[in-house]
């Protein structure tokens, strides 16, 4: 049972989130030769989703008043989040407090990166790009965009994409 203060806080956050107009989201496109498995994690872990080569997964931005943020955990192993396999995370939090209309997002890896040696990047709708050209962290990657942004996250980045085609224009990491 939650202490009284926390109960009121959770109730207040639920009321606040119920009135927010969150219309954006992220689509994850798998350009890898391997199948990728993804879990949407908040205060609970969602079921595993399978993204075959050339397939995609989409999620509308959402909130979780308990954990505060959402992690889209990816692995090339069907049980990767449970068995210690390398894991790549796209993490985001929707910020609607005090009139803000932002989604903060970043990349992270756990136990190595399943995409090491392969390009991973995200961007879209004039949002700052995060670009891990070798699939591993090179700098801190925390960025922000509007909550109505439609973002694309490319795994094993499309071979046709070059830096001159827009990746470098918006704060590439």
Question: 21-170, what's its fold?
Answer: Thaumatin (2.60.110)
Asked whether residue 161 carries a pLDDT value surpassing 90, the answer given is no
Q: Where are the domains of the chain?
A: 21-170
Q: Of 22 and 166, which is predicted with more confidence?
A: 22
Q: Cα(45)–Cα(122) distance, rounded to whole angstroms?
A: 23
Task: Convert the pLDDT of each residue in 19-68 to its tens digit.
Answer: 557 789 999 999 999 999 999 999 999 999 999 999 999 999 999 989 98
**Which DSSP letter does residue 14 get?**
H
Closest CA to 40 of 14, 11, 9, 71: 71
For residues 62-81, average pLDDT: 94
Task: Convert the pLDDT of each residue in 118-137 to its tens digit.
Answer: 999 999 888 999 999 988 88
Taking a C-beta distance cutoff of 8 angstroms, is the pair 68, 97 a contact? Answer: no
Q: Percentage of the chain with pLDDT > 70?
A: 79
Task: Let me know how many helices (H) and strands (E) the chain has, helices first.
Answer: 1, 11
Asked whether residue 109 carries a pLDDT value surpassing 70, the answer given is yes
Lowest mean pLDDT among 17-26, 65-74, 96-105: 17-26
pLDDT of residue 26: 96
Instruction: Report the SS3 class of residue 126.
Output: coil
Q: Cα(135)–Cα(137) distance, rounded to whole angstroms?
A: 7
43 phi and psi angles, rounded to 5 deg = -75, -10
Q: Of 157 and 40, which is predicted with more confidence?
A: 40
Chain mean pLDDT for the chain: 83
């Amino acid at each position: 049972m939650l202490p009284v203060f926390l109960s009121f806080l959770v109730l207040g956050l639920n009321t606040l989130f119920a009135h927010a107009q969150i219309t954006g989201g992220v689509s994850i496109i798998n350009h890898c030769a391997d199948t990728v498995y993804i879990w949407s994690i908040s205060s609970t872990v969602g079921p595993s989703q399978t993204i075959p080569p050339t397939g995609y997964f989409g999620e509308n931005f959402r909130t979780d008043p308990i954990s505060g943020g959402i992690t889209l955990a990816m692995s090339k192993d069907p049980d990767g989040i449970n068995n210690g396999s390398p894991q790549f995370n796209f993490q985001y939090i929707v910020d609607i407090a005090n009139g803000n209309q932002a989604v903060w997002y970043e990349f992270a890896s756990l136990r190595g990166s399943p995409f090491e040696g392969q390009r991973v990047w995200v961007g879209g709708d004039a949002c700052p790009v995060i670009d891990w050209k070798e699939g591993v962290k090179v700098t801190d990657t925390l960025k922000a965009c509007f909550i109505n942004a439609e973002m694309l996250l490319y795994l094993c980045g499309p071979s046709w994409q070059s830096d001159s085609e827009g990746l470098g224009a918006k704060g590439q990491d």
